[in-house]
Each structure stands twice: as C-alpha cells, then as structure tokens.
Amino acid sequence: MKRNLRRQLEPLRSNVKLGQSLWGKLSGVAFKQLSELTSKYRFSVAAGDLLFLDGRWYVTHAGLLRIAHRRRCTGIRTSIESQLSDSNSNRWVFKATVYRKSAPKGFVGYGDADPSNVSPLVRGAEMRVAETRAVNRALRKAYGIGLCSVEELGWSSSAPSASDNHARPSKPCASNGSNIGHPRLRDRLCLLIRKYELDPTLVKRYAADFCGTEALRDASRDLVEAFVSTLAEEAAKDRAALVCKLNSYNQLEEVKS
C-alpha cells in the first residue's frame, strides 16, 4: 500500500523539486496547480512539458504531443488559410485538426503569426510558429486542456531594451526569475534551453563561467542579460558547436572531482 502511494507521488515530487530549482519556491496555488497537472495529464517538468512564467503554468508543444501519443491520437492535419495569410508581410494563419478514435470529426484549432507577435529569436519562421500554435490549440481542445501553451504567447513589442535597462535602477528579484520585467531573463533562458534541447546543468556552468561568478544567481542583471543574448546567438548560429562547448564544462567538472 505504502509502496503504491510512493510510486504515485514520485512524479509530483520530481516535478516540484526540479520546478523549484528552475523557478524558485512555488506558491501554494502554483503547487496545487502543478499537483493537478501532474496527476491528471502526467506532465513532466524534466521532459519539458511545462513552463512557469510570470506566476502561471504553461504547457509546451512537446508536452501536448506526448499526451497525444499516450492517448493514441489517430492523426493531425494542418492547412494554410490562404485568404487570411500574406507572404509579403510574413503573416500566416493555419488551421489544424486533431483526430481521435472516439471523435472522428476531429477538433479544430487556428493559429496565426507575424513579425509583431513572435519573439525576435524566431523571426523569419512565422509560418512554422503559426502552424505550431494551430496544432497546440487543436490538441488542447481534443484533450480538454485549459492551460495555454507557451508557443501561443505573443511577444510584447514594448519590452524594455538593453539601453533602457541600463538607465533604470534595479528592482528586487521576483520569486521565479530576474528583475528585468517582460520577458524575464530566467524565462528567456528556460525557453532557449527547451527550444535547442540543451542540458540545463551545463548551461548553468557555462553561465557562471561567462559571468565570472561561482553561481549564476550571484551574477549581475547586465551580465546575465549578456549571457542570454550570447547563448541565443550561439545556438541559432551553430547548435552542434554550442553543445560541444557545454560538454567541455562537464569534462572540467569530472577533472575537478
């Protein structure tokens, strides 16, 4: 009996432990939500199924695909809405239909993307972003997931620039990230790690080395911001070379030990 209970609670313990290491101590509400998401959908923080941004949980595209696989989704069909899309302005609208055996008519979702509502990191890939957003909405409908997906989030064009941040005094750090505002640096870093499938531990070691501190949390806001920008550039330019660089930190740690 006790063994079965421990087995049931292990996924939640794992999610809470990793979640708090990434985003700080979770509030009572956030903990309760994570508990429900873990038991109901079997989401895993370690697998990249969930992200905690600005005090809210978001499901990822990978997490939605995993739940579709577990529940034996029979197919996903996507198509461009030509009348609503404009290739000249990089505006794309997609329709996605998710099919389940018990619902042959399918569940429909729409997604749009253009340069004004995507991150600068994915500019030029608006078509793929629109398709992903459409698929995510259709999957959420098909499996009754009220949680918004992180890929559906728009990009605030009024986000503070680096020059603005230098001119403003620092504010106290929030419980789950840095003091940059929107988007928070830690959230941006988590998105990069998930997008390029990087090892979080090795990224932290690289960050500490880059910032010249023993731990990333000891670095100044400006240094962390510079690191995040550098990491984004290196990942976009040559992911393989970045992975090799990160692996070198693992080798250094083994030598020290």
243 and 172 in a common domain:
yes
Q: Which domain range does residue 18 map to?
A: 9-49
Q: Inter-axis angle of helices 221-237 and 185-195, to 10 degrees?
A: 20
148 and 171 in a common domain:
no
227 and 168 in a common domain:
yes
Domain membership flag for residue 2: no
Q: What is the pLDDT of residue 158?
A: 39
Overall domain count for the chain = 3
224 and 173 in a common domain:
yes
186 and 150 in a common domain:
no
Partners of 92 in the β-ladder: 113
Give tens-digit pLDDT for 32-55. 999 999 999 999 999 889 999 888
Q: Are 138 and 107 in contact (CB under 8 A)?
A: yes
Domain membership flag for residue 54: no
Give tens-digit pLDDT for 218-235. 777 778 888 888 888 888
Mean per-residue pLDDT, 110-114: 94
End of a domain among 155, 181, 214? 155
166 and 148 in a common domain:
no
Domain membership flag for residue 111: yes
What integer best gives the mean pLDDT of the chain? Answer: 81
Give tens-digit pLDDT for 160-203. 333 333 333 333 333 333 333 334 677 778 888 888 888 888 88
Predicted confidence (pLDDT) at residue 152 exceeds the cutoff of 80: yes
Q: What is the pLDDT of residue 13?
A: 92
Domain membership flag for residue 4: no
Predicted confidence (pLDDT) at residue 137 exceeds the cutoff of 70: yes
